[in-house]
Structure formats: C-alpha cells, structure tokens
Amino acid sequence: MKVADNLAQIQENIRQSCSNVGRSETDINIIGVTKYVTINRAKEALGAGVKNLGENRMEGFLKKYDEIGNDATWHFIGSLQSRKVKEIIANVDYIHSLDRKSLAKEINKRADRPISCFVQVNVSGEESKHGLSKEEVPSFIEKMANYPNVKVVGLMTMAPFLDDEAILRGIFRELRQLRDQIQAENWDYAPCDYLSMGMSNDYQIAVEEGATHIRIGSELVGPYDE
C-alpha cells in the first residue's frame, strides 16, 4: 500500500470520528511513527503530507533526522534514558515520555530553549507500561516549575493492546479528565492543552475522547514486509 492511500483512509476515519462528537478534524495531529520502516518510507510519508514523524529510540531518531532534518516536526515517543537526552535535544520538537524528575532535570540542563513535553501516564496501571500513575501526575507537574526548559504541553498514554472498546474509551476519558484538572491549575509552564493518545488499533476511539495527537505506525506506513 502507498502511504498516501493509507493516509487518505485514516483521514476519512478521523473525519467520521470527529463528526460523531462534534470536533473539528483540524485539531487532530497525525504523527507518523516510522520506527519500523526505512528512511525512504519515511520520506514517502512526508511526500504524502504527513508533517509529524515519531521515533521511539535514539538511534532511529538520529538516523532519520540526519536525512530528513527540518522537513518534519520531530516527536520522541519512546522511553528516554537520561544519558541519551543530550543526543536528541537539539533536534527534537516534542518529547512524549516525560515520566520522572531526573529526566526533567536532564532536559532542563541540556536544552537551550523550552522543550514541549507530554507527561506520560500509565492510566491502565499495567505493570509493563511506563509512566506515572494518575495520582502522581498533579504534584509531578507542579514541580516542573523548577525546570524552565520543560514546558508541559499535554499528557500522553499508551492504552493496553486490546479490542475491548469500553475499556479503551474509559482509559482515554480518564486521561482527558486528568488533563482538564491540570489545565484548571493555570500553571504558565504547563498549559497542558494536548492529549497524545491513540495508535493504529484505537485512534478512532481516542479521537472521540479528545485526542489531539495520534501516533500511527502500522496503519500508516505498514505493512512492514514490503
């Protein structure tokens, strides 16, 4: 499949989900997750009109960035070791995996400008998932006042890999409620306008529940065996 055809289908699905709940599809940012594909496939995605690219490992991020540079907006979506921050910080536009103070401290130290970060939340409580528990999030974000180069633009979650729509919807809704709670604090360093949630198998539900950034790999740039 061409990326352009996949993208057209995804955009159609987004339009449908938006219309179900009275949202505008211009509020949805598609992040093309290119971690499993070649640089050429990533370039094909850009050519098809995908503006945001996401990578989950430092090596993949740097390889793609080297070739593509500022033709894309760059999202780091994977868990990030503190010692790798300095490798990506100059070129990253958004970090989706802020989940601990030591990482905030390192971002703050290495960045020469405020970095847009999503705080990763483990809404489902699955042990295998990274992220803060919901209960930890407000006090964690409050502490980000100490790190002027960390700007909390939103919350991110990875839902469990299931096809139980009610459970997924509940998880996305909880993230949205938490976002609303943080927004109400009016912390200037944490506008928290965004929700990074939804992947290939669940983005339509995420959009209905308020996602602003959906991270799509396989449905957009797959299948991977081409």
Ligand X SMILES: *Cc1c(COP(=O)(O)O)cnc(C)c1O
Q: How far is the CB of 85 from ligand X (least distance, A)?
A: 17
Q: How far is the CB of 158 from ligand X (least distance, A)?
A: 6
Question: Could you tell me the sign of the dihedral formed by the alpha carbons of 124, 127, 131, 137, in that order?
Answer: positive
Closest CA to 76 of 40, 89, 105: 89
Q: How far is the CB of 211 from ligand X (least distance, A)?
A: 12
Q: Is 216 within 8 Å of 197 (Cβ atoms)?
A: no
Q: Is 216 in the site for ligand X (CB under 6 A)?
A: yes
Fill in the per-residue mask, 155 to 174: x = in contact with ligand X (CB under 6 A), - = not in contact: ---x----------------
User: Which segment (12-20, 65-73, 165-173, 197-205) binds ligand X by CB under 6 A?
Assistant: 197-205
Distances (CA, A) of 10 to 7, 56, 76: 5, 22, 22
By C-beta, is 63 or 112 nearer to ligand X?
63
By C-beta, is 28 or 77 nearer to ligand X?
77
45, 199, 205, 206: residue in contact with ligand X (rule CB under 6 A): 199
By C-beta, is 33 or 117 nearer to ligand X?
33
By C-beta, is 78 or 154 nearer to ligand X?
78
Q: How far is the CB of 205 from ligand X (least distance, A)?
A: 13
Q: How much is the CA Rg of the chain, to the nearest whole Å?
A: 17
d(CA 66, CA 90): 12
Joined together, the tokens standing for residue 146 give 């100490």
Phi/psi at 38 (5° precision): -75, 165
By C-beta, is 95 or 152 nearer to ligand X?
95
d(CA 23, CA 208): 8
DSSP annotation of 112 reads S
Q: Give the number of residues in contact with ligand X, rule: CB under 6 A.
A: 14
Q: How far is the CB of 31 from ligand X (least distance, A)?
A: 8
Residues 26-85 that bind ligand X (CB under 6 A): 33, 35, 56, 77-78
d(CA 80, CA 104): 11
By C-beta, is 15 or 35 nearer to ligand X?
35
Instruction: Classify residue 73 as exposed, middle or buried by CB count within 10 Å of its CB (0-12, 13-18, 19+).
Output: middle
Q: Using CB under 6 A as the criterion, which residues of the chain lie in contact with ligand X when the complex forms? A: 33, 35, 56, 77-78, 158, 199-201, 215-219
